A and B are shown apart, each in its own frame.
Chain A
Amino acid sequence: MELTGVVKTFGRAGHSVRAVDGIDLSIGRGETVALLGRNGAGKSSTVRLLLGLDQPDSGTVRVLDRTAEHAVRDGLVGAMLQDGRPIQRVTVRELVDFVASTYPKPMPVSEALALAGVSDYANRRVDKLSGGQTQRVRFAVALAGNPELIVLDEPTAALDVEARRTFWDSMRAYARRGNTVLFSTHYLEEADENADRIVVIDRGRIVANGTGDVIRGSAGRGLVSFDLAGGPTEGLERLPGVVTVEVSGDRALLHTDDSDATVRELARLDAIRGLQVSRATLEDAFLSLTAPTAAPVSDSERETV
């Protein structure tokens, strides 16, 4: 699956928003990839382009060596869209059975129901289920056709902790069968725990692309913070090891690859006031990457589907 230089703009001239602003991304067969970003970062727009629901203004989208529409038409893609709500007056089994019947090589309906963990209420009506149950039914719909690629747009938004855990258990079981999975989320832990690779999107661009560890490291593995006490902030980004600098109030937060060297230099400058040194978490990295001045990083060289 490959996106090359993809741009998608919404709205009229003068008021347009570049929802996707030049994305290049390849995903290999069998990978599980998370699209991580804040709300409105361009995750859903990217997903819609991948599914052929929207056409890019420029750039190309190729899914399994064909256009997105063809991949969908050929039954190679299954999807769980954002904001999909249950339709009325149909049972879980009827719904999954119907969707499976539109695909050329579906899996047996009972298997789809079991994988998604909905066998227990297969004969109940879709519109009579709880939020977590509905979400798993939608997952069953996405995988019913046994597609090569499955795309899940914010699959766990609005679910409680328990429902999220059972959902991800099902998802991992499906990924273990060798299928390619792309999901979007704004939960860092979900991306970290369930994906082989995380693609961080911000303002329609990819700002980081790699494993959770690579992302953690990309903005500096250590965090050094201290009180500025009215001191200057310029030049801080040139201190040894420092990758990015954040200033909030009177406190400076340095993301650094070498906290020892950074601290030594701070001591030489006699700038140590209320010093704290810690390891960067994924959240720190994410916040730093999606800060207004963040620069893109990438590590990815993978074969393309």
Chain B
Amino acid sequence: MFRYIVLEIRRTLRDGSFLIFGTGMPVMMYLLFTNIGGGNDVDGWKTASMVGMAAYGALGSAMSIGTGVASDKTLGWLEQLRVTPLAPSQAVVGRAISGSVTVLPTILTVLLAGGLLNGVRLDAWQWIALALLLWIGALPFTMLGLGNGYRLTPQGTGVVNVACLMGFGIVGGLWFPLELLPGWLRSIGRFTPANRFADLGWATTEGHAPGAGTIAVLCGWLLLFGTYAVISYRRSARTV
């Protein structure tokens, strides 16, 4: 399985447009949003936005794995894998791990831009915890992207991914604060995966550990999306 992970990571990292848009876009958006008003740091906006954009970028990269999987399916590569001794569970887990590794560059570049260009100051442990938590926290989205990829066509996966990304971003309070939403939506928002995901980062920059509720909600989503990915994989294996 290790070799499979290496192969898939290699394939992803050679994809120039994925690296530029997956990594470059969140950084550009972050720098734009935080410097547009003359570059003054109001109430830790540069820090909060750094977390928000790193989370948003991680979310996008994690889900974009689905597009790759969907195109592998179209090419017959998933079927070819099934006639090698690699077990189906290893194929899914391996793809999830390789997908989550390729999320790292996105997170790291946004954090680097925050630290080096925007002068965000955090303790060393906070930087490390932030990167690690955002990385691990992206796993439910990787599973969701995988599930879409195993189930849908490449085009379909792209559309569904963008819809999910925007939906999660808005309802989860990544685009603008949750307080601006109507009350009923606000209470739902607290349980959406993207909101809890970003909360991992916000908790860290505020200097405390994420709440047990946050972790429980994310684990629930991981379980749900993970099941979805496995079921989709089984379905994709069948003819007609």
Interface residues of A (CB under 8 A from B): 10-11, 48, 51-54, 72-75, 77-79, 81, 83-90, 94-95, 97-99, 101-104, 141, 145
Nearest CB of chain B from residue A14's CB, rounded to whole Å: 14
- In the complex, which range does the number of interface residues on chain B fall in? 20 to 34
Contact in complex: A81, B76 (CB < 8 Å): yes
Contacts of A87 in B (CB 8 A): 11, 72, 75, 77
Taken together as a complex, chains A and B put the C-alpha atoms of A148 and B7 apart, in Å, by 26
- Considering the complex, give the chain A residue whose CB is closest to the CB of B14: A89
Partner of A85, one of B3, B14, B75: B75
B contact residues vs A (CB 8 Å cutoff): 3-4, 6-7, 10-11, 14-15, 71-72, 75-77, 79-80, 82-87, 237-240
Question: Which B residue sits closest to A101, measured CB to CB?
Answer: B3
Least CB separation from B11: chain A residue: A89
A104: min CB distance to chain B, Å: 7
Residues of chain A within 8 A of B11, CB atoms compared: 87-90
Q: Is the CB of B83 within 8 A of A79?
A: yes
* In the bound complex, CA of A103 to CA of B10 (Å): 21
Contact of A81 among B3, B80, B238, B240 (CB under 8 A): B80
The reply to whether A72 and B75 form a contact with Cβ atoms under 8 Å apart is no
A99 B84 Cβ-Cβ under 8 A: yes
Closest 9 CB pairs of A and B: A84-B76, A89-B14, A79-B83, A101-B3, A75-B85, A102-B84, A85-B75, A89-B11, A98-B7
B79 adjacent to A53 (CB under 8 Å): yes
Contact A94/B10 with A86-B75, A87-B75 known, Cβ cut-off 8 Å: yes
| CA distance in complex: A53, B84 (Å) | 11
Contacts A53-B237, A89-B15: A102 and B86 contacting too (C-beta < 8 A)? yes
- Do A90 and B85 have beta carbons less than 8 Å apart? no
- Cross-chain contact of A54 among B3, B7, B14, B239 (Cβ < 8 A): B239
Q: How far is the CB of B203 from chain A (nearest CB, A)?
A: 37
Select which of A73, A86, A89, A98 is within 8 A of B3 by beta carbon: A98
Asked if residues B83 and A51 are in contact (CB atoms below 8 Å), the reply is yes
CB distance from B204 to the nearest CB of A (A): 34
Q: List 29 A-B contacts (CB under 8 A).
A: A52-B83, A53-B82, A53-B237, A53-B239, A54-B238, A72-B84, A73-B85, A73-B87, A75-B85, A81-B76, A81-B80, A81-B83, A84-B75, A84-B80, A86-B75, A87-B11, A87-B72, A87-B75, A88-B71, A89-B14, A89-B15, A90-B11, A94-B10, A98-B6, A99-B84, A102-B3, A102-B85, A102-B86, A145-B84
- Kindly name the residue among B80, B82, B238 whose own CB sees the greatest number of chain A CB atoms within 10 A: B80
Residue of A53, A89, A104 touching B85 (CB-CB under 8 A)? A104
Chain B residue nearest in CB terms to A10: B240
Q: Which of B4, B85, B237 has the most CB of A within 10 A?
A: B85
Contacts of A74 in B (CB 8 A): 85
Which of chain A's residues has its CB closest to B77's CB? Answer: A87
A90 contact from B10, B71, B83, B87, Cβ within 8 A: B10
The chain B residue with its CB closest to the CB of A11 is B240
Contacts of A81 in B (CB 8 A): 76, 79-80, 83
